[in-house]
Amino acid sequence: MRKLLGPIIVVILVLSLWGCPPQPEIGKDGGLILLPERKIPFIRDDMPIDSLKIAIERSVEYLERIPKERNFFFGRHKFSAEYLVESLQAFLYLLDNINTSQVFNGRLKEYFYFYKSVGDDGHGKVTYTGYYEPILDGSLVRTNEYRYPIYRKPDDLITIDLSLFHPRFSGQKIVARYDNGNVIPYFSREEIDCQYKLANKGLEIAWVSDPIDRFLLQIQGSGRIRLQDGRFLNIHYAASNGRPYRSIGKLMIDEGIISREDASIPAIKDYLKNQPQDMERIFNHNQSYVFFEIVDRGPLGNIEVPLTPGRSIATDPYLFPKGALAFISTEKPIIDVSGKVIKWEKFSRFVMNQDAGGAIKGPGRADLFWGSGRYAELAAGYMKQPGELYFLVKKGYKYYGKIKG
């Protein structure tokens, strides 16, 4: 943040960027409530601002790609895609022209609305988990070492929009296949991986060496495959089999394999590596199966822009506005050389809402993208911490008044 310009220039910017306020309409209640200024938290950001600017530019890319009149809900209020672009431009102005925390916080309260997630308890408690970009060793051909396939979307997988049959099914879809003239559920994980229902159909994008990493790749939704010649394939979620997602971590807790306190991806991986005979049964508990596609850049979020490490989050797309600016407060792990958590450290930062996840549902869940590498994998694997979530959008020119909550 650089030095604040003079008062005259600030007034000119307010007139040009803030413009007239949108007229909010009452829509779905959603999971956000408008905060009065006295309840807005003091903003501290623990990361370099350059990474935030990159993430913002990627959200602008998305918002400028869609119809400018498309609306996004912040709780009961809605704002157009065009207005969100203006909002992000106004926020970038503040980043570029203010270099003190006190002034920056004052300007945010003056020029931006803050909406807080109601959380899973109705009082703002949000549970943060993490995800990362896995890098798997692989091959374009099957070998003794690389024998676990990564599949593209099968040609016989169909998606049926149920709202076409009756309005009460609005927003509901099913994934299926045809079998002798009947529409039936698509193959389960067990049918695909253990009964080889998709084998020898030319669906393999690549082959990898580790079945545990392959399973985790599906949980993450995107990643890179490092080929033997040093090249990388960027692969991204293309479709799923429509079967229910079931947590193998919860299964292992319920069976007493791991304790609730110790439940983490590293703990799950350790158990499966030491007890490979249990692997198929545990994996098949999660019937959901993900198919991939090769993309030019990645990893991509659900708004089809690259995710920014530490600056992109995944939330429930039915509750929170895609591509919007958010502020999070939670804890991150401090990890020693052996990969164990020494302590948890509080942090807060601005992020962009650029992704979704099968297990990220409701106002009390958010997933932080950590990037790639060892720390990213460990931090994502251990993270399951409480926190708070806020969304920001610019106000109209202040003399036009405020939105009523």
DSSP single-letter state for residue 166: -
- Burial grade of 284 (CB within 10 A; 0-12, 13-18, 19 or more): middle
User: What pLDDT sits at residue 264?
Assistant: 84
Q: Residue 163: what pLDDT?
A: 86
Do residues 321 and 74 make contact, with C-beta atoms less than 8 angstroms apart?
yes
d(CA 302, CA 356): 6
pLDDT at 317: 93
Give the model's pLDDT for residue 282.
96
Instruction: Give the residue ranges of the chain where pLDDT is below 70.
Output: 1-29, 397-405
Q: How many angstroms separate the CA atoms of 26 and 404, rounded?
A: 11
HSE-up of residue 175 (Cα within 13 Å, Cβ side)? 18
Please write down the HEC assignment for all residues of 87-137.
HHHHHHHHHHHCCCHHHHHHHHHHHEEEEEECECCCCCEEEEEEECCCEEE
The set of residues, in sequence order, having a beta carbon less than 8 Å from that of 184 and lying 6+ positions away, is: 176, 177, 178
User: φ, ψ for residue 329 (rounded to 5)?
Assistant: -140, 120
Q: Report the distance separating Cα 393 and Cα 95, nearest Å.
A: 15
Instruction: Count the Cβ atoms, other than its own, within 10 Å of residue 382.
Output: 22
C-alpha to C-alpha distances, 344 to 119, 296, 332, 362, 371, nearest whole angstrom: 21, 36, 6, 25, 19
Query: What's residue 29's pLDDT?
Result: 57
Q: Give the separation between CA 222 and CA 239, rounded to whole angstroms.
A: 12
The confidence score (pLDDT) of residue 262 equals 79
Question: The whole model's pTM is what?
Answer: 0.77
Helical segments of 121-226, H only: 189-193, 211-220
Residue-level pLDDT at 368: 97
| Distance of alpha carbon 168 from alpha carbon 231, whole angstroms | 49
Coil/strand/helix, residue 223: strand
CA angle 265, 271, 273 (to 5 degrees): 100
Which two structure tokens, joined as six digits, stand for 114?
Answer: 């803050």
Cα dihedral 227→231→236→239 (10° resolution) = -50
